[in-house]
Structure 1
């Protein structure tokens, strides 16, 4: 079986994640291809798409949210993702059990004795009017009948698990601040989420396996679980295995992939890319060594924005008063620093609507 080293996996990941060459795609198609963007930090998807698309207009992403073609919702790993309306309607029921389990993992004692199905019925009835509500407003309405769990567990389990919700704009719009107001997906999108498949059938799981590999492959089943948060995908993987090709990584793990998906030559040049906090390219795997060194793995879950140089995490970045600041994690050659400064200037211009192209690259690693 062919062994793919880290550099080969790196270039494949960059290609699938639209980071090797910027793609000439509408934003909605890019979000669909990427299986959604992690989006608990509302402004980060704008940088994520700017780094991936040839002519990204942030107003287009805002319009997709207000037109309800894209929604912000709790989905993979119980984190807030920006996904297409089509995908959330198809995928949400497949995530129900995982979402409940993850909330219970935090609030099991608080929710002990609570009939979650009955609570879900009450919450759906409350949200059926289509009015966006904050978690505090939902709790205030439900607490008289459900006083036991306390405000935070009650709000978390309803919003993140029991009722499929969208986060209504202005949350997530370009340069717009807005708190989280939750609205039932069924009201927001005009129809309920797709029901679960009959027992023994898992068309959604099979489609997710194919879609994940198109955006993240080649990958191990452990990577698929880490991305989705779903444990129950072995059956889906088994059902599509005959369509797939297999490789091994340097650790001996089996990697699965779509036969015709891009796997560029490891020598393919990789341009500098500025990634937002919690970017898919890093968090979409259990084994993240293809993008980030083990010594810096903690950055991926700490909300640090990172800079890729030759396809790997080489610096972190911030922005303040129109200036993009870059803090190297290792020595950068003169050519690397020049490319980082050039791309950073373009990012500063994007983030400031052309008001600044200033970049400050620190002289030594931090």
Structure 2
């Protein structure tokens, strides 16, 4: 079985994530290809797509949200993602159990004794009028029946798990600030979600395996679980294994992949790329060593925006007074600093509609 070096895995990751060469895909197709964008910070998907697409127009993504072709919803790992409407319709039922368990993992004591099916029915009855509601409003509407848990556990269980909901615009539109308002997915999209599979079949799980490998592979089954949050995918992996090829990483772990997916030469140059907070190019793996050093792993969950140099996390960046400020994590060569500054100027211009291209690279880490 062939061994893939860490650098080979890195270049494959960049290629699958559209970070090795910016893609000419339409915005909708790009969102589908990467299996959705992490979106708990509403403006971050725009940065993620700017780094992945040529001539990205943020209005195109805003239009897809208002046209209901892309939606914000809780899905993988119970985190808010921006996904195509088609994928949400197809995937949401497969995530139901995981979403319940993740909320219970946080509020098990508060929700002890609450019949979740009854709570779901009560929440759906409240939302049947089609009016958007905040999580707090939804919780208060049922709190008379379940006063003990408090509004936060009730609200999260209802809006993030029991009731398939979307977060309505203007939240998530380019340069718009708005609170979170929920309506059921079916009401927003005008179509019902695909039902759970019957008789033990798991076609959605099998499709998730294929789609994940297309966007993140080569990868281990632990990586797949870390990305999706789903525990029950080994059977789906087994069902499609005949379609896949296998490698080993440098630690001897099996990596699965699609036969025809890109695996660039490890020597392929990797341009500087600026990533938004919580980007799935980092979070989409159990072992993130292919793209970030263990010493900096906390950056991937702390909300730091990071810059890739030679394909790896090498700096953090932030916007201060219309200036993109880059702070290296270790000393950069002069050539690397120049490349970071050039990409930073492009990022600053994007964020300010061309009104500013100011960038500052710290002199030392």
What's the TM-score once normalised by structure 2's chain length?
Answer: 0.99
Gaps of 5+ in 2: none
Q: Which residue of 1 aligns with 2:361?
A: 361
Q: Which residue of 1 aligns with 2:46?
A: 46
User: Hey, what's the Cα distance between the residues in 2 that align with 1:345 and 1:199?
Assistant: 55
Q: Which residue of 1 aligns with 2:249?
A: 249
User: Hey, what's the Cα distance between the residues in 1 that align with 2:192 and 2:320?
Assistant: 42
Tell me the SS of whatever aligns to 1:289: helix
User: Hey, what's the Cα distance between the residues in 2 that align with 1:318 and 1:265?
Assistant: 32
Matches within 5 A, 1:303-314: 303-314=303-314
Q: CA deviation at 1:143?
A: 1.1
Q: Which residue of 2 aligns with 1:28?
A: 28
Contact 1:128-1:187 within 8 A present in 2 as well: no
Q: Which residue of 2 aligns with 1:218?
A: 218
User: Hey, what's the Cα distance between the residues in 2 that align with 1:296 and 1:136?
Assistant: 36
Q: Which residue of 2 aligns with 1:186?
A: 186
Q: CA deviation at 1:125?
A: 1.6
Q: Which residue of 1 aligns with 2:128?
A: 128
Q: Which residue of 1 aligns with 2:342?
A: 342
- More displaced stretch, 143-152 vs 266-275: 143-152
- More displaced stretch, 128-137 vs 235-244: 128-137
Q: Which residue of 1 aligns with 2:204?
A: 204
User: Hey, what's the Cα distance between the residues in 2 that align with 1:71 and 1:127?
Assistant: 18
Q: CA deviation at 1:137?
A: 1.1
Q: CA deviation at 1:226?
A: 0.1
User: Hey, what's the Cα distance between the residues in 1 that align with 2:62 and 2:246?
Assistant: 40
RMSD across aligned positions (CA): 0.6
Tell me the SS of whatever aligns to 1:111: coil
Q: Which residue of 2 aligns with 1:289?
A: 289
Q: Which residue of 2 aligns with 1:64?
A: 64
Contact 1:270-1:309 within 8 A present in 2 as well: yes
Q: CA deviation at 1:133?
A: 0.6
User: Hey, what's the Cα distance between the residues in 2 that align with 1:150 and 1:192?
Assistant: 31
User: Hey, what's the Cα distance between the residues in 1 that align with 2:139 and 2:232?
Assistant: 32
User: Hey, what's the Cα distance between the residues in 2 that align with 1:238 and 1:97?
Assistant: 21
User: Hey, what's the Cα distance between the residues in 1 that align with 2:254 and 2:341?
Assistant: 39
Tell me the SS of whatever aligns to 1:230: coil
Q: Which residue of 2 aligns with 1:240?
A: 240
Q: Which residue of 2 aligns with 1:15?
A: 15
User: Hey, what's the Cα distance between the residues in 1 that align with 2:265 and 2:136?
Assistant: 52
Contact 1:129-1:187 within 8 A present in 2 as well: no
Contact 1:9-1:218 within 8 A present in 2 as well: yes
Q: Deviations over 1:90-114 (max 9, x none)?
A: 1000000000000000111111111
User: Hey, what's the Cα distance between the residues in 1 that align with 2:191 and 2:62?
Assistant: 22
User: Hey, what's the Cα distance between the residues in 2 that align with 1:73 and 1:49?
Assistant: 18
User: Hey, what's the Cα distance between the residues in 1 that align with 2:217 and 2:101?
Assistant: 27
What's the TM-score once normalised by structure 1's chain length?
Answer: 0.99
User: Hey, what's the Cα distance between the residues in 1 that align with 2:240 and 2:273?
Assistant: 33
User: Hey, what's the Cα distance between the residues in 1 that align with 2:34 and 2:299?
Assistant: 21
Tell me the SS of whatever aligns to 2:290: coil
Q: Which residue of 2 aligns with 1:142?
A: 142
Q: Which residue of 1 aligns with 2:96?
A: 96
Tell me the SS of whatever aligns to 1:102: helix
* Count of residues paired in the alignment: 365
User: Hey, what's the Cα distance between the residues in 2 that align with 1:57 and 1:191?
Assistant: 29
Q: CA deviation at 1:296?
A: 0.3
Tell me the SS of whatever aligns to 1:53: coil
Matches within 5 A, 1:311-326: 311-326=311-326
Q: Which residue of 1 aligns with 2:37?
A: 37
Q: Which residue of 1 aligns with 2:298?
A: 298
Q: Which residue of 1 aligns with 2:5?
A: 5
Gaps of 5+ in 1: none
Q: Deviations over 1:110-147 (max 9, x none)?
A: 11111100110111121122221111111121111221
Q: CA deviation at 1:199?
A: 2.7
Q: Which residue of 1 aligns with 2:80?
A: 80
Q: Which residue of 2 aligns with 1:174?
A: 174
